Amino acid sequence: MIEYLLVKHSYWFYIAMIMVGFYGMMAKNNLMKKLIGMNIFQWSIILYYISIGSKKGGTLPVVITGQAARAADYINPLPHVLMLTAIVVGVATTGIALALLVILYRKYGTLEEDEIIKAIKQ
Amino acid sequence: MSPEHYPSLIVVTPLMMSFIVFAAGLFNRRICYPLVIATLCACFYFSVTLLARVMQQGSPIHYYLGAWDPPWGIEYVVDHLNGLILVSVALIALLVGIYSRSIAAGEFREEKLPQFYTLFLLQVTGLLGMTITGDAFNLYVLLEIASFSAYAIIGMGEGAAAFAAFRYMIFGTIGACAYLLGVGYLYILTGSLNMADLRDLLPPLYGSRVLMAGFAFLMVGVAIKMGLFPVHPWLPDSYTLAPSSVSALLAPLFTKVGAYVLLRVLFTIFDPTFSVTVIPATAVLGWLGVAGVLFAGVMALAQADLKRMLCYLIVAEMGFIVIGIASANRFGLTGAVLHTVNDMFMMACLFTAVGTINACAGTRNLRDLRGINRRLPVTMGVFVVAALSVIGIPPLCGFFSKWYLVLGAIKAGQWAYVAALLISSLLSAVLFFRVIEQVYFAGHETGDGSKTVIDRIPLSQLAPMVCLALCIMLLGVFSGKLINTVIAFAVPAAL
């Protein structure tokens, strides 16, 4: 059991991280904290993707021509490339969310969700 | 510009033009609108050509981006199913684009217009891209392009729109991340992201628990994005508060393209044997659909705001499509595909009509719309045509898709589905006759003596609405032809 936990320790870390993010998005009242939760949620998935591409003893995926290449010697670059896109997506989400929060703060003078809802209902 | 590059051009053109429109808007704001319309016309032309070619050669078109062969490169595939969806999306985007001119001019400050058109084109890029791509990860990227432009453009709306947009964003990000995680699981198992390749590689792994977890993540992600019943709460708020020019584009298209993605995940990435037998996904979806149809029907009845009522109607219509998919036979799926297309046109028609009513009357509250038919006879006529189609009156398209959905449910022996479909039709009849009564007949006693005049609204609003109403009628009249020539080939052969 201990061995099972230790061998997969990175996965346990991502699960903990995604749960922290999810809790932040669902349970926090402050919209900025929700946004931070959302970021943690996204980054945990990005870390998870990056970890699935790495190999023990693997090196940079650059093959020098003329040499026979063994796939096991190189880390898998594809998940890392995918995550470049996902990082851009994450940054764009944060940008739009911050813009929306600026609009909300100017309008209602607060970022607490319950206060904004109260102001909307009036 | 030879026809073999159309699959990439249909996505690249609106993407590039969105930047050009933004840049051009810095110098001359008047040029934005013609540029947008030209782009949308080009997209529509590409989509029609692609569908015609698919129908002619009878097999899918494969396009390899950058000439990288799949599964290494990104592949765009056009078959009968997404050819049809592409044409519908491009046509509705074009009509709503034309419609948006005068509405947007009333809703946004003038210096905001280029930004509005930029986001509009990005939205179209995302929707067309989601439809055409044959790569699971590329779908995620395009889904996020469509979602971002939706968040931003909804945030430009009235009242609490920014708050609704933020909530939508929280929900949408959970959905997108769940989808991404699901794709990651499939990638760990197979090392491939290409949908057709995944379909070949996955069957030996159908018992694997990792695969089931990945499938569940994909389902949750797509369900959130398409506004399926228990995860729909973002939908009514954000689409109600979005500007009319935007909700007419978003509300009909985004959810339906989501339904298309659901079909792709269930029947293209996975085999029907997996999604129907190994994991009873269709049964779960079916019951969610039943619950959604009934819940949303009742919620729609409770709304005084016409647009919010339509938003709940969308949730109900998504339930319809999912029930068709859940029947998991040829009739049910034919109904689901046909209803996806029909519903795009019906909702576009209803949302454009309500947008015009809102712009003219300054309100969407049902009680204040008494006698609006005297000021807007054509708009209300268009609204009634679409309403009758949603209820399912025979010559209009809504009847035929419901007919197939009910047939499919009967054939699957699921009487609960049949009951939900029929009850929901009754509910929508009550819903719309309440509106029609309120508008046409409730004002008669007071009779303010104003005569009926043709709508005093710009032609750019009137013409697209009438076109959409005509489309609803034509889709109804020619539904048999459409099913025989296109949808019959779009339904997975294994069913």
Residue B339: inside a domain, yes or no?
yes
B142 at the A interface (CB within 8 A)? no
B217 Cα to chain A: minimum distance (Å): 13
How large is the average pLDDT for residues B122-137?
92
Answer yes or no: are the C-beta atoms of B424 and B294 closer than 8 Å. Answer: yes
CATH class of A2-55+73-121: mainly alpha
Q: From CA B255, how far away is CA B224, in angstroms rounded?
A: 10
How large is the average pLDDT for residues B119-148?
92
B145 Cα to chain A: minimum distance (Å): 8
Answer yes or no: are the C-beta atoms of B263 and B337 closer than 8 Å. Answer: yes
Answer yes or no: are the C-beta atoms of A18 and A44 closer than 8 Å. Answer: yes
B148 and A116: CB-CB below 8 Å?
Answer: no
Chain B positions touching A117 (Cβ under 8 A) are: 163
Q: From CA B413, how far away is CA B418, in angstroms rounded?
A: 9
B155 and A96: CB-CB below 8 Å?
Answer: yes
B187 and A97: CB-CB below 8 Å?
Answer: no
Of B415 and B493, the one with more pLDDT:
B415
Q: From CA B397, how far away is CA B406, in angstroms rounded?
A: 15
- Which stretch, B31-35, B218-222, B271-275, has highest mean pLDDT? B218-222
pLDDT (0 to 100) of residue B452: 58
Q: From CA B401, how far away is CA B480, in angstroms rounded?
A: 11
Chain B positions touching A41 (Cβ under 8 A) are: 173-174, 177
Q: Residues of B304-324 as b/e, b for ≥16 C-beta within 10 angstroms?
A: ebbbbbbbbbbbbbbbbbbbb
Question: Where in chain A are the domains?
Answer: 2-55+73-121
How large is the average pLDDT for residues B128-157?
91
B148 at the A interface (CB within 8 A)? yes
Q: From CA B189, how far away is CA B65, in angstroms rounded?
A: 25
Residue A9 has which token pair?
């320790």
- Residue of A27, A78, A90, A88 whose CA lies nearest to B188: A78
A96 and B169: CB-CB below 8 Å?
Answer: yes
Interface test with B, best of A26, A82, A113 (most B CBs within 10 A): A82
Please determine, for residue B237, whether its predicted confidence score (pLDDT) is greater than 60. yes
- Name the pLDDT band for B482 (thresholds 50, 70, 90): confident
Please determine, for residue B470, whether its predicted confidence score (pLDDT) is greater than 60. yes
pLDDT digits (tens, 9 = 90+) for B99-114: 988 888 878 887 788 8
The string of DSSP codes covering B235-246 is HHHHHHHS-HHH
B165 and A100: CB-CB below 8 Å?
Answer: yes
Query: In chain B, whose CA is at the least distance from the CA of A98?
Result: B166
Please determine, for residue B447, whether its predicted confidence score (pLDDT) is greater than 60. no
B170 and A116: CB-CB below 8 Å?
Answer: no
- Residue of B313, B183, B316 whose CA lies nearest to B261: B183
pLDDT (0 to 100) of residue B448: 53
- In total, how many domains does chain B have? 1
How large is the average pLDDT for residues B199-225?
89
A41 and B163: CB-CB below 8 Å?
Answer: no
Answer yes or no: are the C-beta atoms of B90 and B123 closer than 8 Å. Answer: no
Q: From CA B22, how far away is CA B327, in angstroms rounded?
A: 46
- Residue of A91, A38, A103 whose CA lies nearest to B241: A103
How large is the average pLDDT for residues B173-194?
91
Q: From CA B203, how far away is CA B494, in angstroms rounded?
A: 14
Q: Give the DSSP letter of residue B393.
A: -
B184 Cα to chain A: minimum distance (Å): 7
Contacts of B60 (CB under 8 A, 6+ apart): B54, B77, B78, B79
What does residue B313 show for φ and ψ, rounded to 5 degrees? -60, -35
What does residue B326 show for φ and ψ, rounded to 5 degrees? -70, -25
pLDDT (0 to 100) of residue A55: 78
Residue B257 has which token pair?
């393209």
Q: Residues of A79-94 as b/e, b for ≥16 C-beta within 10 angstroms?
A: bbebbeebeebbebbe
Strand partners for B76? B63, B133
How large is the average pLDDT for residues B271-293?
85
Beta-carbon-side half-sphere exposure of residue B51 (alpha carbons within 13 Å): 24
Instruction: Considering only the beta carbons, identify the residue of A38, A104, A120 that sits closest to B170.
Output: A38
Output the CA–CA distances (angstroms, integers) from residue B179 to B133, B197, B214, B225, in the order listed. 15, 18, 9, 10
**Structural domain of B467:** 327-495
Please determine, for residue B92, whether its predicted confidence score (pLDDT) is greater than 90. yes
Chain B positions touching A100 (Cβ under 8 A) are: 151, 155, 162, 165-166, 169
Residue B298: inside a domain, yes or no?
no
* Cα dihedral B315, B158, B95, B376 sign: positive
Q: What number is the ipTM of this complex?
A: 0.92
Please determine, for residue B288, whether its predicted confidence score (pLDDT) is greater than 60. yes
Q: From CA B257, how far away is CA B82, in angstroms rounded?
A: 10
pLDDT (0 to 100) of residue B16: 92
What's CA B480's distance to the chain center, in Å?
22
- Residue of A108, A88, A92, A35 whose CA lies nearest to B119: A92
Residue B381: inside a domain, yes or no?
yes
pLDDT digits (tens, 9 = 90+) for B159-183: 788 899 999 999 999 999 999 999 9
- Taking 70 as the pLDDT cut, the residues of chain A under it are 66-68
Query: In chain A, whose CA is at the least distance from the CA of B152?
Result: A96
A97 and B169: CB-CB below 8 Å?
Answer: yes
State whether residue B270 is helix, strand or coil: coil
Instruction: Considering only the beta carbons, identify the residue of B155, B173, B174 that sits closest to A103.
Output: B155
Q: From CA B420, how far away is CA B414, in angstroms rounded?
A: 10
pLDDT (0 to 100) of residue B132: 92
Residue B133: inside a domain, yes or no?
no
B184 at the A interface (CB within 8 A)? yes
Residue B46: inside a domain, yes or no?
no
Q: Which residues of A touch B (CB under 8 A)?
A: 22, 25, 31, 34, 38, 41-42, 45, 48-49, 52, 79, 82, 85-86, 89, 92-93, 96-97, 99-101, 103-104, 107, 116-117, 120
Contacts of B409 (CB under 8 A, 6+ apart): B323, B327, B332, B415, B417, B418, B421
- Name the pLDDT band for B1 (thresholds 50, 70, 90): low
Residue B398: inside a domain, yes or no?
yes
A120 and B159: CB-CB below 8 Å?
Answer: yes
Residue B366: inside a domain, yes or no?
yes
Contacts of B336 (CB under 8 A, 6+ apart): B259, B263, B321, B322, B323, B324, B325, B405, B408
Query: By 3-state DSSP, what share of chain B in percent is helix, strand and coil, each rounded to 5?
Result: 80, 5, 15
Instruction: Considering only the beta carbons, identify the residue of B173, B174, B184 that sits closest to A49.
Output: B184
Q: From CA B480, how far away is CA A109, in angstroms rounded?
A: 57
A97 Cα to chain B: minimum distance (Å): 7
Residue B415: inside a domain, yes or no?
yes
What's CA B34's distance to the chain center, in Å?
25
pLDDT (0 to 100) of residue A60: 79
Output the CA–CA distances (angstroms, integers) from residue A36 to A26, A104, B232, B264, in the order listed. 12, 17, 23, 33
The pTM for the full model equals 0.92
